[in-house]
Homo-oligomer: A and B are copies of this chain.
Amino acid sequence: MEIEVKFRVDFEEIERKLKSLGAKLAQVEEQEDLYFSLPSNELLRIRRIRNLGKSYLTYKLIKDPGRNEEFDEIEVEVSSFEKTREILKRLGFREDVLIKKHRLVYKLNDVTFELSNVENIGSFLDIEVISDSPDEAKKKIWALAEKLGLTEKDVEPRLYTELIKESH
């Protein structure tokens, strides 16, 4: 399972702190995420990473709706963003929102830090661990969050899809 906690952050400040923690920059991504309408505890997305020329089809089941920290995720790489979009439209799925992010991916051991500047909604840090034990994963995430000076009040429980709709 994918366990992640999202924090609202100052991009430059958090990047400095990540580096001083010893996290290594693994990837720079210019993402375009196209979400399709599904029941509220499910997500269906095509992600294009423009600078890498790659696209992914992703299904997520939200295991803890409202908190949005625990996800059952299935993802495949696809050879074409536009053709995948066309297939989903033909199958009856309706496009919901498009979200554009400039994202830096940092890694420290088995923890992934996704530091994103999201068009129209601000900067966020997702701290992510893949684990079958949400409790242990969250302990690990919170130990690192504290080292970055982040607290419960910095948590953003809303999904990016919710934030972008509320920004309109």
Write the residues of chain A forming the contact surface with B, with a CB cutoff of 8 angstroms.
38, 42, 44, 57, 59, 61, 74-80, 83-84, 86-87, 90-91
Contact = CB atoms under 8 A, between A and B. Distances in A.
Contacts of A57: 78, 84, 87
A35 B135 CA distance: 39
Nearest to A84: B76
A75 B59 CA distance: 19
Given A74-B83, A75-B83, A77-B79, 17 more contacts: A42-B90, A44-B91, A57-B78, A57-B84, A57-B87, A59-B86, A59-B87, A59-B91, A61-B90, A74-B86, A74-B87, A74-B90, A76-B79, A76-B83, A76-B87, A77-B78, A78-B78
Nearest to A77: B79
Residue among A76, A80, A84 having the largest count of chain B Cβ atoms under 10 Å: A76
Contacts of A59: 86-87, 90-91
A72 to B, nearest CB: 9
A12 B102 CA distance: 57
A4 B61 CA distance: 40
A70 to B, nearest CB: 16
21 contacts: A38-B91, A42-B90, A44-B91, A57-B78, A57-B84, A59-B87, A59-B90, A59-B91, A61-B90, A74-B83, A74-B86, A74-B87, A74-B90, A75-B83, A76-B78, A76-B79, A76-B80, A76-B83, A76-B84, A76-B87, A77-B78
